Amino acid sequence: MADKSSANAYWAANVRIILISLAIWFACSFGLGILLRPALKGIMIGGADLGFWMAQNGSIYVFIILIFAYAKMMGKVDRDHGVEE
């Protein structure tokens, strides 16, 4: 990185990706698993209602997907800012 503004842009992009990822994970784990569970009671997945499934399994799957998405997005940000490995 050549200057301070480039470093600030890099960290702003990093923080933005982290905040979006956390918001998605929160919406899936807390929103679907706890807040919207009564509304999702009629939808069945694998013998359990969707709200219970999201609380027990779905939020973990979303987290794993977010890990890979974060790695891919940060790879692009790294290349854009010239700090790739």
Cβ–Cβ < 8 Å for 1, 10: yes
* 8-66 pLDDT per residue, tens: 999 999 999 999 999 999 998 888 888 888 888 888 988 888 888 888 888 899 999 99
Whether 7 maps to a domain, the answer reads no
Whether 10 maps to a domain, the answer reads no
Domain tally, the chain: 1
Which residue range(s) make up the domain with 69?
16-81
What is the distance between the alpha carbons of residues 65 and 25, in angstroms, rounded to a whole number?
Answer: 10
Whether 3 maps to a domain, the answer reads no
- Give the count of beta carbons closer than 10 Å to the beta carbon of residue 37: 17
Whether 11 maps to a domain, the answer reads no
Whether 1 maps to a domain, the answer reads no
Answer yes or no: is pLDDT of 2 > 60: no
Question: What pTM does this model have?
Answer: 0.80
Whether 29 maps to a domain, the answer reads yes
Between 54 and 74, the higher pLDDT residue = 74
